[in-house]
A and B are shown apart, each in its own frame.
Chain A
Amino acid sequence: MRQFFSILMLAVAGAASVTGTVQAADKASTVQVSIFNYKFDAETVTVPVGTTVTWTNKDEIPHTVASSDQGFPASPGLDTGDTYSYTFTKPGTYSYYCTLHPFMKGKVVVTPAIPAGD
């Protein structure tokens, strides 16, 4: 019984530790991109894999965020103040644009994970 209890404690500690790590990563890996004056700001963001990018439309006109090559799911039409988030889980370069105003272009460069211990 004591042995079982010890294992249980270890499991709980382990779970807590994992959860803590995820939360820390979340905080460190959310990047905001504004949509304002018919531009993505910043036009190019470089982020480590696992990062969530959140776009916020600050224009009076709706915009969309759509991958140029189906690299990630397209947003719905974003009205003023609406946001759209996507978590990039694979390294690569993701070009995107606004399907309503295709002269609006942006890029998310996703770099490989930083090795543990860095």
Chain B
Amino acid sequence: MDKIHDEKLKDSERRKLLTCLAWAGGGLLWTMKGGVLQAKTLDGLAAPADADFSFIQISDTHVGFHQEANPDVLATLQSAIAHVNGLGRAPAFAIHTGDVSHLSKPEQFDAAQQALKGIKTDNWFFTPGEHDTIGDNGAEFFKRFGGGVNGKGWYSFDYRGMHCICLVNVLNFQNGALVALGDEQLEWVEDDLERVSSSTPILVFAHIPLWTVYEPWGWGTSDAPRLYSYLRRFGSVTVLNGHIHQIQQKIEGNMTFYTARGTAYPQPQPGAAPSPGPLKVPAGQLGSYLGIREVTHVNIKGPLAVTDTSLAI
């Protein structure tokens, strides 16, 4: 595709977005500046000019969902992708914090992969959601998106001075209990961090919140406190999750926790509805409930902070 045609495509995408805001998909652009993470929804704001790099968090695409709360999740995903590609500069990498698919079906993974290829970035990092591991403990997901350590999905990588850890917290469900990371994974984290200096900014991401947002709906991870014990010595720790389709934030000492909006459909605030089922909002408002997150990084010393803004135009 030549560049001019590509630009036309983007313009048409933008027009479609403006005229059909009901399906404005979302996501967040993260920028890291001086060890300070900042998040912006993709409503046309550019990353700070002095940022060292930025990356994209996209979450809960739920390809295959086709109910009233959003009959066309691929369209909202495409809108989110148009936003990302309209940022002006390509993100260094993109992470997907799970629930790529709705029912772990190969055709749903196929459609999601095809759509996500549209984001202009060289590197993708995935962690599964519980919707991606139905019936096969994630075998199909890991085959497509990387099996990590021992084929169990977790891994770490370094990017320009930041140490990033991908965790999996959707494989240890027990009757009536919050999900767990499990001993094997936690022992691996402990080993992994041993070689990392305390001044290194740490990014941790997983699907289900790694802090207890709301226990009655399973919005938490039972053995996360053990994870914190390994993260406390670092000056700057940022923890990103999906799963609850809304932005929630928490700061605990050196650790800041953020949950992201999805691109598929919103969910109610904790306890604000009889169940965490999809929140049905007027079509014109759906865009303001969906998001992508951008992080920019600027390499000066300082504490981490993250902000979120809405996608609504």
**Pairwise interchain contact B278-A37, C-beta atoms closer than 8 A:** no
In the bound complex, how far is the Cα of B65 from the Cα of A60, in angstroms? 8
Residues on A with C-beta less than 8 A from B216 are 103
**Pairwise interchain contact B275-A100, C-beta atoms closer than 8 A:** no
Instruction: Please report the number of residue pairs spanning A and B whose Cβ atoms sit closer than 8 angstroms.
Output: 63
Chain B 164-182 residues near chain A, CB threshold 8 A:
173-179
**Pairwise interchain contact A77-B135, C-beta atoms closer than 8 A:** yes
Chain A 75-116 residues near chain B, CB threshold 8 A:
76-77, 79-80, 95-97, 99-103, 105
Does chain B have a CB within 8 A of A59? yes
User: A21-60 toward B: CB 8 Å interface, digit per residue (1/0)?
Assistant: 0000000000000000111000000000000000000011
In the bound complex, how far is the Cα of B62 from the Cα of A80, in angstroms? 14
Task: Tell me, rounded to whole Å, the shortest Cβ–Cβ distance linking A56 to chain B.
Answer: 16
Residues on B with C-beta less than 8 A from A64 are 134
Interface residue count for B (Cβ, 8 Å)?
26
In the bound complex, how far is the Cα of B136 from the Cα of A99, in angstroms? 12
**Pairwise interchain contact A103-B217, C-beta atoms closer than 8 A:** yes
In the bound complex, how far is the Cα of B177 from the Cα of A99, in angstroms? 10
From known contacts A37-B275, A77-B103, A103-B216, infer whether A62 and B176 are also in contact, taking CB-CB under 8 Å.
no
Contact of B179 among A76, A80, A102 (CB under 8 A): A102
Does chain B have a CB within 8 A of A61? yes
From known contacts A68-B175, A105-B175, A105-B176, infer whether A61 and B277 are also in contact, taking CB-CB under 8 Å.
yes
Residues on B with C-beta less than 8 A from A62 are 102-103, 131, 134
Does chain A have a CB within 8 A of B104? yes
Residues on A with C-beta less than 8 A from B130 are 99-100
Q: What range describes how many residues of A lie at the interface?
A: 20 to 34
Does chain A have a CB within 8 A of B235? no
Residues on A with C-beta less than 8 A from B270 are none
**Pairwise interchain contact B67-A60, C-beta atoms closer than 8 A:** yes
Most chain A CB neighbours (cut-off 10 Å) among B174, B179, B275 = B275
In the bound complex, how far is the Cα of B177 from the Cα of A102, in angstroms? 6
Does chain A have a CB within 8 A of B276? yes
Smallest CB-CB separation from A105: which chain B residue? B176
Residues on B with C-beta less than 8 A from A100 are 130-131, 134, 173
Chain B 90-111 residues near chain A, CB threshold 8 A:
102-104
Which B residues form the contact surface with A (CB < 8 A)? 65, 67-69, 102-104, 130-131, 134-135, 173-179, 216-218, 274-278
Which A residues form the contact surface with B (CB < 8 A)? 37-39, 59-62, 64, 68, 76-77, 79-80, 95-97, 99-103, 105
Given contacts A102-B218, A105-B176, list 15 more A-B pairs with CB under 8 A: A39-B275, A60-B277, A61-B278, A62-B134, A64-B134, A77-B135, A96-B175, A97-B173, A99-B130, A99-B134, A99-B173, A100-B173, A101-B276, A102-B175, A103-B218
